[in-house]
Chains A and B, each alone.
Chain A
């Protein structure tokens, strides 16, 4: 197989910025349809053997550690002021880190405004798409990602951490408790082996059982001869012509030298902090507030899901770190029942951290015996993560930092976030229920752990029916510029109470169909 290599002056190529869940999937889709694609990725390209089963070295290898700044009342701003978010900078993006939980939105979750009504301080909006329209794309995404519990793929076996949660959940009367819909092979499929219960899902799956664009979508796209991936290529600026159409991008190559790639169209998929940063940094005389920002919504409505963890100590060993990190789920709270004191739903999913990360994240900044006694209980600890819908707020936003710049002189993303009262009420409910699950099976101590740096980043270029309310239309095409698209989680109108990646992938597949159609009709 010879890999495609396109000329920088070739203005018939379609440029995709970012190679993660959204960008990597879109790249393969377009390549399969015969579109020439150049995918620019800020990070390096690793292979499965490069991954390390060791939390901090893996973090240094894969994570986006370039500076970012923070403000707002969320605790992350205090504990991790320069690490608002935990995402990957590498070919494959955060689909290398992700745990694999793949859930569809509920029907009502596409209609948050209609369902929840007006909520003080929340900038709610209905999606311009319905579940019905998404169903075929969800099915496509589940099939390509190999989501268990779909397409006849068996569920994974439950590990110790799951069994503890399951036993507690059953005592409490929860009904929908199972090992999840995971994009992790429970049997060999699609040229990849099955899960060996290695337990380092967050550090890159060394068996390749877990779906990642790095070793699925991207090589498949490359095999068509239509996709060229350029690692260590950070886009700094998107360019446009006098008519306002996008014409190409300027990027820093591996040596830090600025390069220009011409393009017929551009899709931005840098994850929800970097995508608005890039649009804002591309401000010009014609677009003084940044590209595609006539609504003023670029960077706003930043969502990160309402999260928190519950870790419980028991008399006897659990060894939660053995096997899949997100080994199972309780779905009973994933409904909209305002009687609980908040709108929207949440999931409870097992989570585990190795000892090094447990020390850093169990209670950031804490020290002394009350803290270290929790680590002394490590072997006897079980853990779960709460993940629910958070409210979009206009003031939760990504802006360009006024002072701090990266090594290429590009202003870094500054992230402001305050919890909405609905988020707090939901988190407290989740803490209470999670604690009850573990107490039901004899937990001797329950610890409520605050949110980690954001792993789910959503909403900063949101989708809206009306150009006034958001940045992109129902195809992820910007309202303002016909040949500029957003292809990552920043398109989300609202966050829903489920992990986002299945929806990101389904949207990318759908967008691929539409971009190819627009091209063949000569619209872009």
Chain B
């Protein structure tokens, strides 16, 4: 008997498909992060925060929690709510708006370009490290660690199957199917 793999039960909705299809392969993203995730055009519909701020948040999300197996749509979904939050809460709008200005200032001081235009991930990480103690980075990271990983559609990519009660648990679905341990 071999171990049961993760079920491929994730369905792609039309909306997700549209988001995903607008992006390029992760490898290309790594090389030219600024040109894809940092795309302001993708956020033309943002109403309270500027497309620039949203594009910055999106690239920052990937740089904070980089997973090469994840397409850009997951990072976009994770940060999309900031636009609504900013509309509902002046303090939040301020943190993000000021934070992006501060991040770009740091980027310009170090690399002579805005954050989304700094080409190398390693360089962008040094910018994030510089702003790490501030309220902006803290707020974005603390939110992201939930808003990114709480997306059910990304769980199977990590081999996590989630809710099981509706399938009768894992009792007959591989709770003890490990097959590679040395025999004891």
Contact = CB atoms under 8 A, between A and B. Distances in A.
Contact of B158 (A157, A170, A379, A441): A379
B13 interface: no
A200 interface: yes
A360 B145 contact: yes
A377 to B, nearest CB: 9
Interface stretch (B32-40, B47-55, B147-155): B147-155
A163 B176 contact: yes
Interface in A348-375: 354-356, 358-360, 365, 367-369, 371-372, 375
A323 B176 contact: yes
Contacts of B182: 167, 171, 441
Contacts, number: 130
B93 to A, nearest CB: 23
Contact of A379 (B6, B128, B166, B168): B6
Interface string B16-33: 000000000000000000
A355 B176 contact: no
Interface residues of B, number: 40
Contacts of B155: 355
Chain B at the A interface: SS class: loop
A198 B169 contact: yes
Given A198-B164, A321-B160, A159 B145 contact: no
For chain A, the bracket of interface size reads 35 or more
Given A322-B174, A375-B158, A196 B169 contact: yes
Interface string A183-221: 000000000000111111000001100000000000000
Given A163-B181, A196-B168, A56 B161 contact: no
A321 B67 contact: no
Contact of A199 (B141, B159, B169, B184): B169
Contacts of B158: 355, 375-376, 378-379
Given A360-B146, A380-B159, 10 more contacts: A53-B165, A56-B150, A160-B178, A195-B171, A196-B169, A199-B170, A200-B165, A359-B149, A372-B65, A441-B181
Interface of A: 52-54, 56, 157-160, 163-164, 166-167, 170-171, 195-200, 206-207, 315-319, 321-323, 354-356, 358-360, 365, 367-369, 371-372, 375-376, 378-380, 441
Interface of B: 3, 5-6, 64-67, 69, 125, 128, 141, 145-146, 148-150, 155, 158-166, 168-171, 173-178, 180-182, 184
